[in-house]
Amino acid sequence: MQRRVARFPARTISDTEAASLVQSGMWLDYAGSISQPDVFDKALAVRRHSLENVKIRATMSLKPRAVLEQDPEGKHFYWLNWHFSGYDRKMHDAGRCSYIPLHLGEVPDYYRRFLDPVDIVILKTCPLDENGYFNFGPTNVWLRALIERARMVIVEVTEGLPWVYGEQTGVHVSEVDYIIAGDNEPAPELPNPPANDIDRAVARQIAQEISDGDCLQIGIGGMPNAVCSLLLESGVRDLGVHTEMMIDGLIDLYKAGRVTGARKSLDRGKLTYTFAAGSRKLYETLHRNPDFHCCPVDYTNMPHRIMQNDQVVSINNTTQIDLQGQLASESDGHRHISGSGGQAQFVRGAYASKGGKSFICLASTYEKRGSRRSRIVLDLTPGNIVTTPRSDVMYVVTEYGMVNLKGKSVPERARALISLAHPDFREELERGAWEHRLIPRGFTF
């Protein structure tokens, strides 16, 4: 680990003094989710009229940002984001925010190799510990790389973050330039969407494919959480966890004794993750719990690392799939919704794992402007981003069944995916597949 050296011993200053260090044209970095600063953010917003063209990188904002709320016309601050939350999406819709394309596991390398040094990094951290470190809490991701490439590091110290174990989980006081007092408010929670009947129908099919000793990566959403709920009811045991995001569903499995990590090759006995966002229960479970292992995202998300565990099971959502198997999981046309995240990397890592499986789940339909539409389509919505290529997709699951696309020809894929569509759309999809020669006439597949 490369150690940054501050120019002088860390000094404690006020939030107003910290905000005064920002100059027009600077690049700032607020890190991500529950590590985004709050006290500094409010103080910087107060200074808005003396600043222009200040660009701020961040990820998955879990609460409104003062620099955006108090600069509604975007004259002073611009927000750039590695993965959208609902709030970031709202800012994008208003022309205040832009997305940064990525594979999430590569972001530390982007900072180290391709991005100019960041002028000021501002992180919310736990108080200084007995070893001289400010623990990041359960947001590791690319924070070490970010600190290495920072011209100035400011920590906003709070009692509101859980202190976590893992690799490269903090910044040493010798690397810090300034310390400011935080508000000690509890970490923001991320509500868990309740599972509906379709979520449970999809989850039942996936849960039947999970065996003792499987190593789980589970994304966020009603369907993945429903899988966790069904696994609680099953007899499956000795599960492992090597995931990007630690979610409440995995905490429930851990508390029930279903997750032991005893059969993992990598980090045996540990639940490995790179960030966490969820309920108060989740944060309390992670706090000073040595069973959990918080690591940089290039450790959790790179396929060559994921595959080191056997029987990796990756479970993720998508919002649209075409008849050849391309997944559009992050946009609605040119409107950006979320982000690429680690979906493609976990799909590849699970496939490369001995006995591994990757599942992509979706409801067959959705409602838009008062009408029902199919998520399985002949052509992706114009402008939609392909998150995972057709060649990578393995299992696809809707409430109407499950298919494995590996090794299937284009006609076989089209037939298989049409079988997963809502019955009201199957005839139209088949007609389109014939007209565009995805399914040749006169042959049975």
Residues 113, 117, 118, 124, Cα dihedral to 10° = 60
pLDDT digits (tens, 9 = 90+) for 183-218: 999 999 998 888 899 999 999 999 999 999 999 999
Return left, alpha or beta for 341; rule: phi > 0 is left, psi -120 to 50 is alpha, else beta: left
Q: Does the CA dihedral 337-338-343-344 come out positive or negative?
A: positive
CA-wise closest residue to 142 among 201, 99, 83? 83
Distance CA 429, CA 422 (A): 10
> Which residues touch 281 (CB under 8 Å, ≥6 apart)?
248, 251
Length of the chain: 445
CB 225 within 8 A of CB 207: no
List, by residue number, the catalytic residues.
244
pLDDT at 354: 98
pLDDT digits (tens, 9 = 90+) for 310-363: 999 999 999 999 999 999 999 999 999 999 999 999 999 999 999 999 999 999
One-letter identity of residue 80: L
1 has pLDDT over 80? no
Beta bridge partners of 371: 368
CB 416 within 8 A of CB 405: yes
Distance CA 2, CA 242 (A): 25
223 has pLDDT over 90? no
Place of tokens 């003396």: 50
* pTM attached to this predicted model: 0.96
99 has pLDDT over 80? yes
55 has pLDDT over 90? yes
Q: Would you place residue 7 in the very low, low, confident or very high pLDDT band (cuts 50, 70, 90)?
A: confident
Give the C-alpha distances (Å, rounded to integers) separating 298 from 2, 100, 346.
Answer: 15, 17, 12
pLDDT at 187: 97
pLDDT at 369: 87
Question: Could you give all domains of the chain from N- to C-terminal order, each with its CATH number?
Answer: 11-181 (3.40.1080.10), 197-435 (3.40.1080.20)
> Cα 3–4–5 angle (5° rounding)?
115
pLDDT cut 90: percent of the chain above it: 92
Within the chain, what is the greatest distance between any pair of CA atoms? 78
Q: Would you place residue 445 in the very low, low, confident or very high pLDDT band (cuts 50, 70, 90)?
A: low
Give the distance, in angstroms, between the CA of residue 252 and the centroid of all CA atoms in the same chain: 19
The pair of three-digit structure tokens given for residue 60, joined into one six-digit string: 């998955």
442 has pLDDT over 80? no
CB 157 within 8 A of CB 181: yes
3-class secondary structure per residue, the chain: CCCCCCCCCCEECCHHHHHCCCCCCCEEEEEEHHHCCCHHHHHHHHCHHHCCCEEEEEECCCCCCHHHHCCCCCCCEEEEECCCCHHHHHHHHCCCEEECCCCHHHHHHHHHHHCCCECEEEEEECCECCCCEEECCCECCCHHHHHHCECCEEEEECCCCCCCCECCCEEEHHHCCEEEECCCCCCCCCCCCCCCHHHHHHHHHHHCCCCCCCEEEECCCHHHHHHHHHHHHCCCCCEEEECCEECHHHHHHHHCCCECCCCCCCCCCCEEECEECCCHHHHHHHCCCCCEEECCHHHHCCHHHHCCCCCEEEEEECCEEECCCCEECCEECCEECCCCCCHHHHHHHHHHCCCCEEEEECCCEEEECCEEEECEECCCCCCCCCCECHHHCCEEEECCEEEECCCCCHHHHHHHHHHHCCHHHHHHHHHHHHHCCCCCCCCCC
2 has pLDDT over 80? no
Q: Other C-beta atoms within 10 Å of 62: how many?
A: 17
User: What mean pLDDT comes out for the span 85-93?
Assistant: 96
